């Protein structure tokens, strides 16, 4: 069965088309994405008309692409930028009316839970007690557990895009940003630690993948089955280096796209704080993340 999953994130809209097989992993067949920058189209806590129009145009185009690719169905979801808009219900209704989609807003806890599901399916039961971290544009997701559903799953407003807008672009003190990030993460760390020690620690998301690549991990062209890791000992000096680089210099680093370069410093601060406060010296980069988790749950329900 050919299926699509449409991910409306704070930075990017991404349609992933897969061939799904009962008892086997979904196999990627096609990808269509566009930078939407929805978080930048929030006026206070209201999504602007321009933001809604960008979202509508992309969803209409994504639905057409999904039909052209032969998708039997498209599962669609939105994350923090839409979730935090006070007019989210109206935005969702307009998208669904224009496209025939059933776009839904995921809670932060559901983001963490479904990302954990993807990582669990990728690494299997032999990974033991698993901890999963994901840095998105608007939020940081944390989950841990020994089963397919995590014991603890939550979200913090520490996305790389959010912190860049609210702190870096606003010219606020970067030392205070570091304190803020660490205080937010530390506040929830106790619940994770009380749930038990980690046997395997992994991370997902573009931010972690880019940081791992800059620190020497294999490029994406080598395929998903190459083991990629990120060590805290490599990340800590990189954070200091990124603080002094401009966007062009960051974009010139291996594995960093030009449209993400501006927010890599804030993402690196969150990654370093997460690893440090949870006592993680090295984590592994998981090729699957939220989109795959949403697909896997949908396939289970078919």
Beta bridge partners of 43: 46
Can you give the C-alpha Rg of the chain in angstroms?
18
Ordered per-residue pLDDT tens for the chain, 302 residues: 999 999 999 989 999 999 998 778 899 999 999 999 999 999 889 999 999 999 999 999 999 999 999 999 999 999 999 999 999 999 999 999 999 999 999 999 999 999 999 999 999 999 999 999 999 999 999 999 999 999 999 999 999 999 999 999 999 999 999 999 999 999 989 889 888 889 999 999 999 999 999 999 999 999 999 999 999 999 999 999 999 999 999 999 999 999 899 999 999 999 999 999 999 999 999 999 999 999 999 998 88
Tens-place pLDDT, residues 141-174: 999 999 999 999 999 999 999 999 999 999 999 9
d(CA 118, CA 141): 13
Find out whether 123 and 199 touch, Cβ atoms under 8 Å: no
| Start-to-end Cα distance in the chain | 11
Domains and CATH numbers, the chain: 2-105 (3.30.420.40), 108-290 (3.30.420.150)
Residue 108 neighbours by CB distance under 10 Å: 21
- Whole-model pTM: value is 0.95
Beta bridge partners of 204: 134
Sign of the C-alpha dihedral, residues 76, 82, 87, 91?
negative
């Amino acid at each position: 069965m050919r299926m699509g999953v449409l991910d409306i994130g704070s930075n990017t809209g991404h349609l992933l088309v897969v061939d799904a097989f009962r008892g086997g992993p979904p196999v990627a067949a096609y990808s269509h994405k566009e930078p939407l920058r929805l978080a930048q189209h929030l006026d206070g806590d209201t999504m602007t008309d321009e933001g809604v129009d960008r979202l509508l145009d992309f969803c209409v185009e994504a639905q057409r692409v999904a039909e052209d690719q032969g998708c039997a169905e498209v599962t669609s979801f939105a994350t923090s930028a839409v979730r935090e808009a006070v007019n989210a219900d109206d935005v969702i209704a307009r998208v669904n009316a224009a496209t025939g989609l059933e776009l839904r807003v995921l809670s932060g806890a559901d983001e963490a839970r479904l990302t954990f599901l993807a990582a669990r399916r990728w690494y299997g039961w032999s990974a033991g007690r698993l901890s999963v971290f994901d840095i998105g544009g608007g939020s940081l997701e944390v989950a841990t557990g020994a089963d397919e559903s995590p014991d603890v799953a939550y979200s913090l407003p520490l996305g790389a895009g959010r912190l860049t807008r609210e702190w870096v672009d606003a010219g606020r003190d970067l030392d205070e940003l570091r304190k803020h990030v660490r205080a937010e993460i530390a506040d929830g760390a106790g619940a994770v630690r009380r749930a038990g020690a980690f046997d395997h620690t992994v991370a997902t998301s573009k931010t972690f993948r880019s940081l791992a690549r800059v620190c020497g991990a294999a490029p994406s062209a080598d395929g998903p089955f190459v083991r990629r890791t990120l060590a805290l000992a490599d990340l800590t000096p990189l954070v200091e280096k990124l603080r002094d680089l401009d966007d062009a210099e960051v974009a010139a680093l291996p594995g960093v796209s030009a449209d993400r370069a501006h927010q890599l410093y804030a993402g690196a601060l969150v990654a370093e704080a997460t690893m440090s406060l949870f006592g993680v010296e090295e984590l592994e980069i998981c090729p699957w993340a939220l989109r795959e988790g949403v697909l896997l749950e949908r396939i289970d329900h078919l």
